[in-house]
A and B are shown apart, each in its own frame.
Chain A
Amino acid sequence: MIFEYAPAPESRDVVDIRPSYGLFINGEFVDGSGTPFKTINPASEETLAEVATATEADVDRAVQAARKAFGVWSALPGSERAKYLFRIARIIQERARELAVLESIDNGKPIRESRDVDLPLVAAHFFYYAGWADKLQYAGYGTTPLGVAGQVIPWNFPLLMLAWKIAPALACGNTVVLKPAETTPLTALLFAEICQQADLPPGVVNIVTGAGETGAAVVGHPDVDKVAFTGSTEVGRLIAKSVAGTTKKVTLELGGKAANIVFDDAALDQAVEGIVTGIFFNQGHVCCAGSRLLVQESIAEELMASLKRRLSTLRLGDPLDKNTDIGAINSAAQLAKIRELSDSGEGEGAERWSPACALPDKGFWFPPTVFTGVSQSHRIAREEIFGPVLSVLTFRTPAEAVEKANNTPYGLSAGVWTEKASRMLWMASRLRAGVVWSNTFNKFDPTSPFGGFKESGYGREGGRHGLEAYLKEIS
């Protein structure tokens, strides 16, 4: 019997989007000096709001505000800073629905994910680092904050990346100037309101919006002591160049081309779920996405059949529908990039497959896509696609799996699926990746450090290790 789920849209009424937004500097919303830009809903292409562009002069004002606040903030006892962070965490929980809806509208991700993954993790991150604020002397990285942190974050997890950046910085006593991505500024600006609501001292958190030039101004400002960036390897390289020769401390969390490795003794139904979570979670807009599936050849056929059957049940459409699994691609530019790389996959001889899947007429959409017959030399096996596109390769022996998995300039994450514990450990010790997931994928927790090897960046975020990036080294 056919069982169609009726539309079950989450209400937009919980969130009040203003027609225009300014910059958040020194605890107040102020006008930007640059030409304002529009942020749109990628699922419908409707304009959501006009957002200020921060020029170099605006960024300078923000850095000055942060510098001034640093004196006050860093002088507070850790237990006092913790109170603010706990307060922010609680307000985030209270306003979680509002934030989740806004995130889905501005980013295109399904409400199920913003509600069940992003927001709980955002609050958890603030709670976790609030707990560290008065215990820094036990962390082993000293207790002296760096000063002003310039932070530039991507559009794939706008609020979660903000939390990853701001929570540890503030816990350690730093102040921040943060630039959200130009396609997803709205939740960061709502977070600015939350800072006001929490009575956070002015200047401790400053949010400047704009495109790449604004980001460059934040990173390049001479009075910034610390640069934290999450985004593409390309921009990461530029940042590394621009801070070379300065005393700025840098952490970069960049791209990935992670291998998700399935052995023939894996729990196959759960492995299929892990493959789906690995590459189709958040439309594949995940730096640690399991974009390369390495499957042992003896089960390749069976696993592909199961995977295709499972992908046929994915529900693509309105991000605000509570039953949507795959939302919209974040921007026209990203969609063009995904299309270009996918076409190159076909051009290079890989076989392309997507489930029958109607795409909405308006907005930016790409169907879940699987490429089989992929070889190591294909671009779709080398380059980060950052979309719902899976490249499938096979292997025969564990050694071959390791070799193929490591044969990439990236090294952010990997997943291994086997019921054999000894093989799991053997693999984990050989994979050159910052995170190795064992019989799971794309699992995040504030207590667990996260970061890359090789061109996936340096520095760790999350966990006790995440404090190191925001404290002066003990000499």
Chain B
Amino acid sequence: MTASSNASLRAFLHGLPGVDRVGADARAAMLSTRSIKTSAKRQAIDMAISMVDLTTLEGADTRGKVRAMCAKAVHPDPADPTVPSVAAVCVYPDLVAEARDVVGSSGVKVASVATAFPSGRSTLEVKVSDTAFAVAAGADEIDMVIDRGAFLSGDYLKVFEEIQAVKAACGEAHLKVILETGELATYDNVRRASWLAMLAGGDFIKTSTGKVQPAATLPVTLVMLEAVRDFLAVEGRKVGVKPAGGIRTTKDAIKMLVLVNETAGPDWLDPDWFRLGASSVLNDLLMQRQKLTTGRYAGPDYFTLD
């Protein structure tokens, strides 16, 4: 595959097998009936906790809120040291330094959104410098957004080159490419955007910014998991997947893990290859975990807000 022109990219992307919406929805619905109980539930909860990208992306974010969230990321339940740390915290670029300071060498990664998040509507120059700023501040991972306007208008080359440029600006940092599937409208587009992002060098493909509905639906995540599975087979490079937005309950999270297990396979059941972009899900996971241990539910007041 040479990405030398829009025509060659279009020929490739539109040559990928289509996605039948009815069939994809049915498959995701069937997998969501898997019943994960007892020991499997316990394993799934810890796996899910270790895959969470604990996120705050509000205009009203404060340094204090970020510090509190980072502390929680390292020790999600201060009373129970057997609870694993989450995978990463995810913040805006100007708060990366703050986050870095708290997570230190705990192993929890610092991820930063960049490239004129969430709309992606700016110049390449701004996007690259946004990225460089976050990396310089200590980000391990960059969550960029693609230019959906360019993608939908058929300007695949622009999207491709932007991802390449941002990837270059990332240096050592891992690049997650947010497709904003809620704006791509069709599963065919989700598959094409996934391949475009992977071909351009993305280390992860991510569903959504969390600012647009629908966000991380099961069928969309299914289509992206199929894409990374096929990309590894064809191109020999493994790419991660991150559904983000709308994952609120332990049930939601476990459905995602089942999807991974039976689509891309157990090789992806690892925080290096699968993440859950979420914030509120963590407390539900902790609550369910405690229920499995003690047999009782504690009220929400027994879990820290952030």
Contact = CB atoms under 8 A, between A and B. Distances in A.
Contacts of A439: 20, 22-23
B23 A273 contact: yes
A3 B24 contact: no
B158 interface: no
Dominant SS at the A interface?
loop
Interface in B160-207: none
A269 B270 contact: no
Interface stretch (A4-12, A26-34, A170-178): A4-12
Interface centre among A1, A4, A419, A439 (most CB of B within 10 A): A1
Interface string B13-55: 0000111101110110000011111111101100100000000
Nearest to B36: A5
A416 B40 CA distance: 38
A3 B23 contact: no
A260 to B, nearest CB: 13
Contacts of B34: 5, 322-323
Given A269-B24, A270-B20, A439-B23, A3 B33 contact: no
Contacts of B26: 273
A270 B270 contact: no
B40 A5 contact: yes
Interface string A383-406: 000000000000000000000000
A67 interface: no
B17 A268 contact: yes
B47 A269 contact: no
A1 B24 CA distance: 25
A116 interface: yes
A8 B17 contact: no
Interface string A279-322: 00000000000000000000000000000000001000000001
Contacts, number: 72
Interface string A258-271: 00000001111110
A460 interface: no
B262 interface: yes
A112 B35 CA distance: 10
A5 B41 CA distance: 8
Contacts of B38: 6
- Residue of B18, B19, B33, B266 with highest tally of chain A CB at under 10 A: B18
Contact of A267 (B20, B257, B261): B20
Contact of B40 (A3, A112, A440): A3
Interface in B236-258: 257
A6 B39 contact: yes
A323 B41 CA distance: 14
B47 A1 contact: yes
A434 B269 CA distance: 44
A444 to B, nearest CB: 14
Given A6-B36, A6-B40, A274-B23, 12 more contacts: A1-B269, A4-B40, A4-B43, A5-B35, A266-B17, A269-B27, A270-B22, A273-B27, A322-B33, A322-B34, A439-B20, A439-B23
24 contacts: A1-B47, A1-B269, A3-B43, A3-B47, A3-B269, A5-B35, A6-B36, A6-B37, A6-B39, A7-B37, A266-B17, A266-B18, A267-B17, A267-B19, A269-B17, A270-B19, A270-B20, A270-B23, A270-B27, A273-B23, A322-B33, A439-B20, A439-B22, A440-B22
Interface of B: 17-20, 22-24, 26-27, 33-41, 43-44, 47, 226, 257, 261-262, 266, 269-270
